[in-house]
Amino acid sequence: MPTVTVITGASGGIGAALARRLGHAGHRLVLGARRADALQEVAESITSTAIAVPTDVTVRAEVDALGRAALERFGRVDVWVNNAGRGLTAPVLALTDAQLDDMVTVNVKSALYGMQTIVPHFVERGEGHLINVSSFLARAPIASVRSAYSAAKAMLNSLTANLRMDLAQSHPDVHVTTIMPGLVSTEFAHNAGHEGPLAAASVAMGIQTPDEVADIIADVIARPRAEVYTNPNSVAVVRRYLEETGALG
């Protein structure tokens, strides 16, 4: 039976690459994003069944509607990927209320809406897989210009881990995964720019393509794990940060 997968932020970048990768593997896909035209183009480029549902993930009602559309079309959801997100360039002392609120809304509340929409369905079925796409910057805030983005992703990591703990004993077949990409060559990265420590990190770590990240997420769907860095070099960067700050004791 083909896997039914919902992907948010599917109109470009990692989301679009993942949709094409899973479509090639035969997944039935429900794709959500704000850019309706770009989203439809992605859906039409996929070889398996894929429907486009224009969705503003910062609006709870629209995320609920995305979930309903998937269930009405396919009768179930097996995998839900909260991939939508956006960055911001502003150090801590320059942040405005509006900027911080925007980062939390786009990167945290949108994923929370997805979790609260689909996990009850997984619990009822006794199985399912939730995947939240975060960032390695949530663990190693080495680029202070991404202050609010890093903080929001750290919050997402914590919420995801708490949900995983809530379900671990009562529903062991409901998997909850945090994906932490490093630097990826997406429209997100180009718009945000690379300067200072982030530029140095890009040289040290290397920049992945969306297709490379999509392949790793596809592997996680096939073999669920709790937390995954898509770039193996991220592990050394995070460990060095923790050692230098004394966080390891």
Residue 54: strand pairing partners? 33
Rounded Cα distance, 27 and 131, in Å: 16
Rounded Cα distance, 63 and 155, in Å: 20
- Whether 149 sits among the annotated catalytic residues: the reply is yes
Which distant-in-sequence residues (6+ apart) come within 8 Å of 113 by Cβ? 57, 60, 63, 64
Q: Would you call 40 exposed, middle or buried from its count of C-beta atoms within 10 A (0-12, 13-18, 19+)?
A: middle
Could you say which of 113, 149, 229, 241 is catalytic?
Answer: 149
Rounded Cα distance, 20 and 41, in Å: 11
What's the token pair of residue 133?
């796409």
* DSSP designation for 3: P
Rounded Cα distance, 5 and 33, in Å: 14
Question: What phi and psi values does residue 95 have, to the nearest 5 degrees?
Answer: -65, 140
Which own/partner pairs from 120-124 qualify as long-range (CB within 8 Å, at least 24 positions apart)?
121/67, 121/71, 121/76, 121/77, 122/77, 122/171, 122/174, 123/167, 123/171, 123/174
Active centre residues (catalytic)? 149
